[in-house]
Homo-oligomer: A and B are copies of this chain.
Amino acid sequence: MPVSDLTNSAQDYLKLIWTATEWSGTPITVTVLAERMGVRPSTASDSIKKLKDQGLVTHAPYGTIELTPAGSAYAVDMVRRHRLLETFLVQVLGYGWDEVHDEAEVLEHAVSDTMIERIDQRLGHPTRDPHGDPIPSADGQPHRPGAIQLHHAGPISEVTVVRISDADPAMLRYFSDIGLTPDAQLTIQKQRPYTDAITITLSGEQKNIDLGPTAANAIWVTTS
C-alpha cells in the first residue's frame, strides 16, 4: 500500500511524529503536534484518533503517541520524499538551502513514486539533504545516534556539525552568511553560567560567535 493511499494530512502527521523523535528521544504530545501542524489541539486530537483507527499510531487517551511499524514505514517514506526533493531543488534548480523547505513540504505530497526514484537516480542516490539530515533509503531508516544539540554539548570540545534544523529560513540564511553549514568544524569557547548563550569559533577563523538558545538548539553536532 503506497503512501499516496493516505490523505495529505495523515502523511503530515506521521512525518511530524517521526521527525520529532528522530533527534531527541522524547515522544511528542498532542499540543506540540497541534502547534507544529498549525491547528488547534482539538483538531490534532481528532486526527490522532483517526490514525489510531487505521493502526498507524498507538495512543491511549491522555497518553503518549507512538508510531506503529506500519505508521513508521509511511513516515520514513515521507521523510525520504521531503529530503530528496530538498536536495533536488538545491542541486538541479539552484535553490538556496533556506528556500527549499516550504517548497518540498508541498511537493512531497504531489510527486509520484516514479518521480522520486528518478530524482534519486539523477542525484546519484544521495545520503544527506542540504541541511545534513540523513535521507532514508527506499526501505529502512538510518540514524545518527551520536549527535547532540549544540546547546547540550559541554564546553571546550572541538565538534563537527552534523545537521541543522530546516525549520527557520531566516536562521539558515544567517548560518550561511557566517559559514556555519553541515560538516563545519567548530570549537565551543565557553558556556556562560545563567545564560542560554553559547560562544563558538569556526575552525580556521578566530572570530567568536554568540548563539542564543534557538540557534543552539537547531544545530546538532558530534564529537567524533
A111 interface hit (Cβ, 8 Å): yes
Q: Give the chain B neighbours of A119 by CB distance below 8 A.
A: 93
Q: Mark A74-97, 1 if CB is under 8 A from B, else 0.
A: 000000000000000100111100
A167 to chain B, nearest CB (A): 18
A183 interface hit (Cβ, 8 Å): no
Chain A interface SS verdict (over half): helix
Residue of B nearest to A102 (CB): B112
Docked-complex contact B95 and A106, CB < 8 angstroms: no
A157 to chain B, nearest CB (A): 40
Q: How far does the alpha carbon of A106 sit from the alpha carbon of B109 in the complex, in Å? A: 9
Docked-complex contact B95 and A118, CB < 8 angstroms: yes
Q: Give the chain B neighbours of A107 by CB distance below 8 A.
A: 107, 110-111
Indicate how many identical chains form the complex: 2
Q: How far does the alpha carbon of A129 sit from the alpha carbon of B166 in the complex, in Å? A: 35
A156 interface hit (Cβ, 8 Å): no
Q: How far does the alpha carbon of A95 sit from the alpha carbon of B114 in the complex, in Å? A: 10
A196 interface hit (Cβ, 8 Å): no
Residue of B nearest to A115 (CB): B103
Residue of B nearest to A110 (CB): B110
Q: Give the chain B neighbours of A118 by CB distance below 8 A.
A: 93-95
Task: Knowing that A94-B118, A106-B111 touch, tell me 19 more A-B residue pairs with CB under 8 angstroms.
Answer: A89-B115, A92-B122, A93-B115, A93-B118, A93-B119, A93-B122, A94-B122, A95-B118, A99-B114, A102-B112, A103-B114, A103-B115, A106-B110, A106-B112, A107-B107, A107-B110, A107-B111, A109-B110, A110-B110
